[in-house]
Amino acid sequence: MTGADPVAETLAALGFPPGELPRAGALDALHLRFSGAVPYHPTPPRARHPREVLAAWLETGAGTSGGERSLAFAALARALGLAVTPAGAVLPGGRPHALLLVESGRGPRALVDPALPVPAVLPLEPLPVDLASPIGRLSVVRKGPELELVAERRGAARTLLRTALAPVTDAALAGPGAPAGLPPGALLRFLEDRTLAWSGGRLTLSDAWSRLELPVSARDASTLAGLFGEPLPAGVEDATPEPPAEASLTAYHAVAAPSEELLARLRSLAGHRARLEPGALDGGVEPREDGFCWTLRAAEGELLRGEEVRFLDDGAEVTLSGPGPVARKRYRVEPADGGGSRLSVRATLAPPVPVRGPNDGTRRTLVFLLVSELVALARDGAR
């Protein structure tokens, strides 16, 4: 660090030169640049002052999370002339929380929550709010005297927090009762439309309708640094045991049909015929006590693969033999919030799988194929 003020130096590093007057869009620009530049890292046991957090980032690239991340962001926003007030909130289960209410005088009031974290600026005027984010579709709605923040992702909705916007002091974001940061040995990164996370030797890439899980050893520092940036926080290398070997890709689909109807389809030969790719013909069907086996061929007679289908209480499991990127599929049906059902299929990828998983084009193609199967299973019950 070359100067005496880490707040001013951080703003300059993020593209806000000294003496610049607040401008329309400053909050969104600061949030985007801060989120992209300052890594999400576990916080040390001792709470750090915002200037200490920013100085560590300037000197070594070290990151932060939890309440001290919110306070560091608040220090930057205030230095830009934005009015920032911590506001009390409640998380599911009744746990107290605090987020940031920001007012600029040049735009609507907005909520920012780097601690939870919520990777978006949430304007409060007008309500309700509805916008896309790396953690799903976010909405802010009024429920009596409170605002409720809800995330909808992969066909399921969950309440993230409730707040009456009652002001609290900065101390609510520091000390024993402050919002917790990442647990030791965990890593997190937000991409434009996806979330990348690592914990327990398991790497997860999640988007609105799919979830890719890969085994990545804690000792594979080069892969983790390539995905999450350097430096990696201390303790990552000895935080977890060796991960399980399987890699998987799960796709989801929201359906208006009741669960019982979808389960009946997954437990029938006709239901599984519906999910086959165009041109695939079944032959050699062999009934089993808990399912069936069959051989699938192309219209020209070329062998595609064999499948062993086993019926389960909540869906079905299909073991595949033959060439292809998938070794096993697990279909599951569950009731959805607000009615209807959620269909999912978890595809276990056939080895060898690249350390960082399939490239993005291959991943998107696999997601498309899996979702197409779910749509076919749901027939016209999709919503």
pLDDT score for 380: 47
Mean pLDDT, the chain, integer: 89
pLDDT of 295: 93
In three-state form (DSSP H/G/I as H, E/B as E, the rest C), the secondary structure along 298-361 is CCCCCEEEEEEEEEECCEEEEEEECCCCEEEEEEEEEECCCCCEEEEEEEEECCCCCCCCCCHH
Length of the chain: 383
pLDDT band at 382 (very low <50, low <70, confident <90, very high): very low
The closest of 349, 322, 150 to 248, measured between CA atoms, is 349
Both tokens of 357, joined, read: 């998983």
Across the range 197-219, mean pLDDT stands at 91
Instruction: Concatenate the DSSP letters of all residues of 110-132 into one string.
Output: EEEETTTTEEEEEE-SSSSEEEE
Query: Is pLDDT of 39 > 60?
Result: yes
Four-point Cα dihedral 72, 27, 30, 42, nearest 10: 40
pLDDT tier at 24, thresholds 50, 70, 90: low
**Hey, how many other C-beta atoms are within 10 angstroms of the C-beta on 160?**
20
- Give the C-alpha separation, 267 to 138, whole Å: 35
Query: Who has greater pLDDT, 176 or 182?
Result: 182
Region of 127 (left: φ > 0; alpha: ψ -120 to 50; beta: rest) is beta
Strand, coil or helix: what is 65? coil
The class level of CATH for 6-173 reads alpha beta
The band of 241, judged by pLDDT with boundaries at 50, 70 and 90, is: low
The pLDDT assigned to 49 comes to 94
The 10s digit of each residue's pLDDT in 106-153 is 666 899 999 999 999 999 988 888 999 999 999 999 999 999 999 998
| Predicted confidence (pLDDT) per residue in 274-321, tens digit | 999 888 888 789 999 999 999 999 888 888 999 999 999 999 999 999
Residue 1 binned pLDDT confidence (cut-offs 50, 70, 90): very low
Least confident of 75-79, 122-126, 279-283, 346-350: 279-283
Buried b / exposed e along 369-380 (16+ C-beta atoms within 10 A) = ebbebbbbbbee
Mean pLDDT of 364-373: 94
Amino acid residing at 328: R
The CATH 3.30.2140.20 portion of the chain extends over: 6-173
Place of tokens 């802010």: 140
- Residues 376, 377, 381: CA angle, nearest 5 degrees: 85
Instruction: Label the pairing between strands 210-215 and 202-206.
Output: antiparallel
The residue type found at 276 is L
Q: Where does the chain hold its CATH 3.30.530.20 domain(s)?
A: 187-381
Per CATH, is 187-381 categorized as 3.30.530.20? yes
Task: Pick 256 or 311 by higher pLDDT.
Answer: 311
